[in-house]
């Protein structure tokens, strides 16, 4: 068999293995429902719970990288602290060993049987659940079919003198084994796939147990590259979470390597230990158990010292990070029985929501003027939070409205409903402006200096109007409310004058037509923000008159 033919057969087997693993993971995820992310958010109140959740979810989705990427996203969004994230990451390392455990079961000869069952369920199943189960079977069968293909291709290596010499070097110099395991995993972006290749080699006798240990340690390090790449563009804490995954595996591997060099026969002792415990000489089962045992032991060692790991990555990535808390923080259900307190808390939450909406107008302006797409991501993230707050506020105020209220309290609840809507709409218009900025940046659309000057002044007046409207409402200030209405009249006049002037420049060929659409749309959105600010001021005036 030629080298090219062997290479393609090996890569084909690896491709079937990875595809099967992905399909099985997707089927398990769909069968489990859409609650996996919620599970991560809810059950991470302490390190131990986080470790358990990380283990379970990774075992289900068959990817520690996917779990860690989710964790990095949650940390970046402020839904999870660094210490909570470290617990989940440790659990992910344990959960990822389930693939090797499945492979170690000698059921590969039934691969085609399992595929046949999977195809029947997937294509002829009446319900979605049956189809998802069929997808699990199909992925499971393809995983073992890929393993069989790789094992058949690699059988010749057990008789290769040169390959045996290389494997002897890995056993005698474990650092080389760790490096090759890391490199392979970085290249194929999956520690489970790397373990599949390793078990294919050990299964045909091409690699001895002593050489397999450092390679499997390297797969743990290599798999962390995905989370590190996903953390590019995130906040400092999210980057720290990604690097915590890497440092956890690097430090654990480093400690184990010290023991391997200090005790040359340690690999043989580990093999003997697992042979006695599990009553088996099957090398694949021994390698799989070593993989699980190492990750479990590494977690048990580091779990009490998660704070130390957090300090290490904080030292590596210094600086302060202000995490914006997601969701409501003032809407306590117990206050509903005392409407005056409930209204006070709702006011605090509404003020917080309003400040975020107006801040997004500022961010949209900076995104447009600075051509900074990273600011658009920040804006989108905050807009999601504004939508969450709107939903929570409406639910809370609806419950409050069903209580026994005085006339003034009922009016205040009614006013709050209107202002929630106006604030949410301000956030929507800020998002619209952000999308126009994104369009301008990505399509490299030129904007004239005159248009930039007009927009900057319009932003300034609109932001002043919005801030004064909120201040007038919460301070119950009649004069400020009147000032807001005057400002809003000016905003309307500016929008009309700027629109007329820009259309004139377009007709004279002084402006690029594509930029005209963006310019006029931003003017329209800013004018609407002014309208919503005026609505808030009018509610303030009506409340004072009563």
What confidence tens digit (pLDDT) does each residue in 72-123 have?
A: 766 765 667 777 788 888 888 888 787 777 777 766 677 788 889 888 988 8
Q: Domain check: are 71 and 122 in the same one?
A: yes
Assess whether pLDDT exceeds 70 at residue 321.
no
59 or 119, greater pLDDT = 119
Contact predicate 491/530, CB 8 Å: yes
- pLDDT at 358 > cutoff 90: yes
Q: How far is CA 332 from the centre of its chain?
A: 28
pLDDT of residue 63: 66
Task: Kindly state whether residues 408 and 538 are assigned to the same domain.
Answer: yes
482 in a structural domain: yes
CA distances from 11 to 4, 7, 19, 112, 297 (A): 11, 6, 12, 20, 33
Instruction: Give the whole-angstrom CA distance, residue 128 versus residue 31.
Output: 9
Rounded CA gap, 186 and 228, in Å? Answer: 11
The structure tokens 């002897």 sit at: 168
Question: pLDDT tens-digit profile of 481-525?
Answer: 899 999 889 989 988 888 888 777 767 666 666 677 788 899 999
Same domain, 234 and 339: no
What pLDDT is recorded for position 35? 52
Position 56 scores a pLDDT of 77
**pLDDT tens-digit readout, 192-223:** 777 777 777 777 777 788 788 888 888 888 88
Q: Are residues 301 and 346 in the same domain?
A: no
* Greatest mean pLDDT range, 296-300, 441-445, 499-503: 296-300
For residues 481 and 410, membership in a common domain is answered with yes
Q: Assess whether 368 and 438 both reside in one domain.
A: yes
- What is the CATH number for 537? 1.20.58.220
Pair (345, 305) in one structural domain: no
pLDDT tens-digit map of 246-283: 898 899 888 888 888 888 788 788 888 888 887 778 88
What is the Cα Rg of the chain in Å? 30
> Are residue 250 and residue 350 in the same domain, yes or no?
no
Say if 292 falls within a structural domain.
yes
Residues 228 and 344 in one domain: no
Tokens of 232: 């590019």
Q: Predicted confidence band at 156 (pLDDT cuts at 50, 70, 90)? A: low
Handedness of CA 188, 189, 193, 197 (dihedral sign): positive
pTM above 0.85, yes or no: no
pLDDT for position 466: 93
Predicted pLDDT at 134: 87
13 has pLDDT over 90: no
Q: Using an 8 Å Cβ cutoff, are 77 and 326 in contact?
A: yes
Are residues 380 and 237 both part of a single domain?
no
Encoded tokens for 437? 């900025």
Q: Output the pLDDT for position 245.
A: 85
- Assess whether 311 and 349 both reside in one domain: no
* Cα(385)–Cα(423) distance, integer angstroms: 13
Q: Which pLDDT value is given to residue 34?
A: 47
Residue 228: CB atoms within 10 A of its CB come to 15
- Max mean pLDDT among 8-12, 64-68, 305-309 falls in 305-309
Same domain, 312 and 354: no
Give the residue from 316, 347, 363 where a domain finishes. Answer: 316
Q: Tell me, yes or no, whether 2 lies in a domain.
A: no
Supply the mean pLDDT for the chain: 81
Q: What is the pLDDT of residue 457?
A: 92
For 92, residues 6+ apart whose C-beta sits below 8 A from its C-beta are 54, 55, 57, 58, 64, 67, 68, 71, 245
DSSP state letter for 109 = G
Alpha-helical regions (H) of 476-512: 478-507
The band of 232, judged by pLDDT with boundaries at 50, 70 and 90, is confident
Print the domain residue range for 529: 334-545
Of 316, 351, 379, which one is at a domain's C-terminal end? 316
At residue 30, the pLDDT reads 65
- Could you give the CA distance from residue 73 to residue 467 in angstroms, rounded to a whole number? 31
pLDDT at residue 38 greater than cutoff 60: no
Looking at residue 426, its pLDDT comes to 94
What 8-state DSSP symbol labels residue 304?
G
* 417 to 219, 256, 404, 428: CA distances (angstroms): 55, 61, 18, 17
Structurally, the chain folds into a number of domains equal to: 2
């Amino acid at each position: 068999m030629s080298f090219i033919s062997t290479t393609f057969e090996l890569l084909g087997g690896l491709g079937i293995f990875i595809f099967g693993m992905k399909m099985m993971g997707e089927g398990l995820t769909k069968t489990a429902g859409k609650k996996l992310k919620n599970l991560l958010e809810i059950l991470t109140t302490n390190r131990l719970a986080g470790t358990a959740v990380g283990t379970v979810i990774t075992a289900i989705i068959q990817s520690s990288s996917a779990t860690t990427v989710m964790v990095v996203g949650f940390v970046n969004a402020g839904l999870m602290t660094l210490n909570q994230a470290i617990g989940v990451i440790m659990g992910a390392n344990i959960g990822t060993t389930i693939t090797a455990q499945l492979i170690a079961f000698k059921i590969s000869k039934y691969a085609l049987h399992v595929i046949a069952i999977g195809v029947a369920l997937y294509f002829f199943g009446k319900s979605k659940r049956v189809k998802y189960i069929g997808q699990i079977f199909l992925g499971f069968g393809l995983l073992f079919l890929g393993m069989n293909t790789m094992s058949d291709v690699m059988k010749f290596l057990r008789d290769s003198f040169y390959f045996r010499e290389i494997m002897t070097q890995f056993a005698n110099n474990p650092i080389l084994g760790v490096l090759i395991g890391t490199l392979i995993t970085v290249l194929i972006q999956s520690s489970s796939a790397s373990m599949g290749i390793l078990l294919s080699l050990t299964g045909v006798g091409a690699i001895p147990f002593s050489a397999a240990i450092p390679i499997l340690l390297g797969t743990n390090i290599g798999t962390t590259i995905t989370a590190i790449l996903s953390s590019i563009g995130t906040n400092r804490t999210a980057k720290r979470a990604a690097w915590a995954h890497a440092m956890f595996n690097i430090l654990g591997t480093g400690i184990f390597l010290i023991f391997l060099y200090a005790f040359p026969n340690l690999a043989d002792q580990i093999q003997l230990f697992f042979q006695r415990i599990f009553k088996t000489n099957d090398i694949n089962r021994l390698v799989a158990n070593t993989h699980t045992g190492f990750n479990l032991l590494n977690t048990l060692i580091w779990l009490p010292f998660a704070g130390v790991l957090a300090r290490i990555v904080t030292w590596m990535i210094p600086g302060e990070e202000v995490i914006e808390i997601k969701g409501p923080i003032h809407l306590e259900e117990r206050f509903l029985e005392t409407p005056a307190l409930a209204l006070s808390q709702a006011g605090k939450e509404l003020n917080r929501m309003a400040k975020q909406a107006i801040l997004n107008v500022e961010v949209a302006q900076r995104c447009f003027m600075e051509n900074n797409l990273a600011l658009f991501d920040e804006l989108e993230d905050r807009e999601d939070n504004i939508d969450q707050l709107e939903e929570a506020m409406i639910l809370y105020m609806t419950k409050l409205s069903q209580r026994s209220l005085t006339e003034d309290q009922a009016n205040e609840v009614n006013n709050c409903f209107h202002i929630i809507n106006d604030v949410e709409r301000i956030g929507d218009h800020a998002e619209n402006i952000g999308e126009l900025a994104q369009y301008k940046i990505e399509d490299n659309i030129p904007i004239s200096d005159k248009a930039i000057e007009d927009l900057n002044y319009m932003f300034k007046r609109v932001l002043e109007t919005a801030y004064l409207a909120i201040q007038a409402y919460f301070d119950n200030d009649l004069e400020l409310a009147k000032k807001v209405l005057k400002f809003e009249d000016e905003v309307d006049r500016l929008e009309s004058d700027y629109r007329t002037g820009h259309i004139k420049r377009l007709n004279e060929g002084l402006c690029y037509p594509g930029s005209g659409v963006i310019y006029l749309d931003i003017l329209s959105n800013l004018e609407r923000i002014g309208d919503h600010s005026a609505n808030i001021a009018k509610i303030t005036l009506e409340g004072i008159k009563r």
